Amino acid sequence: MNSKLTRHQQRTICSQLGHVKLKLLYKASIHGFTGAAFHQQCDTRCPTVSVGYNASGYVFGGYTKQPFCQSDQYVHDDQAFLFTFSGEKLNKYPVTGPGNAVKMIANSGPYFGEALALVHRSQAVVHSNPGDYYTFNAADMHGNDLNLTECEVYEVEESTEFEKPWRTIVWESVKRKELMESIWLYKPMVSSVSQIRVLLIGAVGAGKSSFFNSINSVFRGHVTSQAIAGSSSTSLTTQFRTYSLKAGREGKPLPVILCDTMGLEESTGAGLDIDDISSILKGHLSDRYQFNPSAPLQSEASSFRKSPVLKDKIHCVAYVMDACKISIMPTKLQEKLDAIRRKINLLGQ
């Protein structure tokens, strides 16, 4: 059987579930648009992703960790969710009534609460009732087109395979030494700048602080945790920090300073303020400046460096991104990154 889900769509769904892959169990155009055919292929299999397709081009469905059966009972699942694709973006609708997340109906296909059912009553149709244990807009979910052209159910399996790397990297000691020496021996083109300053920008949890710790550990020759790093819903970095890379245990400074910032968040008034980016780029912020998400640094503040010289300014900007989440990045966060890029480009002209 050939999957109707594109490779990109499969990757996007899997990114919500961990390091997994999808195995096609049921395809209505082959097995039949009936509850009996669905249950024959899918009962006792879990977790699963169910997908419906209509002639209007909508791709939508749901996920449950519970195995299907024909008990005519509701099943609890606090991890269940519905979804629909808007272009390549996945819109996700978590269960709001986990005690009624999935209903086991003999004469229907996948049945998510009373909100969404595929192959409803053994027909190539969708039952849709937003608000019953899942909240979504019907027009966004399936365009109010309730006729199915296809229905598929996939089993979610743990994946031990890795995709082919996008580039070939030689992990040999000679190459490692060569790369490290290129940094050791680097000299800025302007004599007044002994160390270039690289600004790290990224969302909360992207790994900016961990990136510095990793690079610093490589050059120091042992594991270091100079920058505070970890996992949190809000940024663990609350100050502007400038970290000088050092080589060896004696800590000889390298010609690179990595500048760590507060993580970006999609909501207004949270995370790094975009207006603070301009101050950082122009060298107005000193080390250990305490960020205030609700108000950017003002020029009259005592911590504002009024006359920065070239060595105080940012010479390079690096985005640190979680590759697993790029395809599902919130729109507002993407807009912030775009706004920052525009500010950087203007300063570089």
Report the pLDDT value the prediction gives residue 269, as an integer from 0 to 100: 65
41 lies in the same domain as 149: yes
12 lies in the same domain as 141: yes
In a domain, 51, yes or no: yes
Percent of the chain scoring above 70 in pLDDT: 93
Split at pLDDT 50, 70, 90, the class of 164 is low
Q: Does pLDDT of 145 surpass 90? A: yes
**Count, residues in the chain:** 349
153 lies in the same domain as 249: no
52 lies in the same domain as 126: yes
Which position has the higher pLDDT, 128 or 236? Answer: 128
23 lies in the same domain as 135: yes
In a domain, 326, yes or no: yes
- Mean pLDDT in the chain? 86
Phi, psi for 33 (deg, rounded to 5) = -85, 65
Handedness of CA 33, 35, 40, 41 (dihedral sign): positive
| Weakest-pLDDT range from 87-96, 265-274, 329-338 | 265-274
153 lies in the same domain as 194: no
Split at pLDDT 50, 70, 90, the class of 126 is very high
Report the pLDDT value the prediction gives residue 346, as an integer from 0 to 100: 82
Identity at 212, one-letter amino acid code: F
Report the pLDDT value the prediction gives residue 348, as an integer from 0 to 100: 64
**Type and span of the H or E element at 177:** helix 173-184
Average pLDDT over residues 196-215: 86
Q: What is the dihedral of CA 107, 136, 15, 43, to 10 degrees?
A: -10
33 lies in the same domain as 154: yes
In a domain, 168, yes or no: no
Report the pLDDT value the prediction gives residue 22, as an integer from 0 to 100: 95
pLDDT in tens, 170-193: 778 888 888 888 988 888 888 898
In a domain, 116, yes or no: yes
Counting the structural domains of the chain, the total is: 2
Q: Does pLDDT of 16 surpass 80? A: yes
Split at pLDDT 50, 70, 90, the class of 43 is very high
- Reported as half-sphere exposure (CB side, CA atoms, 13 A), residue 211 has a value of 19
In a domain, 243, yes or no: yes
Average pLDDT over residues 141-163: 89
Which position has the higher pLDDT, 252 or 96? Answer: 96
In a domain, 64, yes or no: yes
Domain stops at, among 158, 186, 210: 158
Average pLDDT over residues 321-336: 78
Report the pLDDT value the prediction gives residue 237, as an integer from 0 to 100: 62
- Domain hosting 19: range is 7-158
Residue 47: is the preceding peptide bond cis (ω within 30°)? yes
187 lies in the same domain as 334: yes
50 lies in the same domain as 101: yes
107 lies in the same domain as 138: yes
Report the pLDDT value the prediction gives residue 134, as an integer from 0 to 100: 94
In a domain, 165, yes or no: no
Please tell me what DSSP assigns to residue 271.
B
Report the pLDDT value the prediction gives residue 34, as an integer from 0 to 100: 95
In a domain, 187, yes or no: yes
pLDDT in tens, 271-307: 777 778 888 888 888 888 777 766 777 777 777 788 8
Average pLDDT over residues 32-44: 94
pLDDT in tens, 207-249: 888 888 888 888 888 887 777 666 655 566 677 888 888 887 7
Phi, psi for 151 (deg, rounded to 5) = -140, 130
195 lies in the same domain as 291: yes
Characterize 60-96 residue by residue with b for buried, 16 or more Cβ atoms within 10 angstroms of its Cβ, and e for exposed.
Answer: bbbbbbbebbeeeebbebeebbbbbbeeeebeebebe
Report the pLDDT value the prediction gives residue 111, as an integer from 0 to 100: 95
Handedness of CA 11, 13, 17, 20 (dihedral sign): negative
224 lies in the same domain as 343: yes
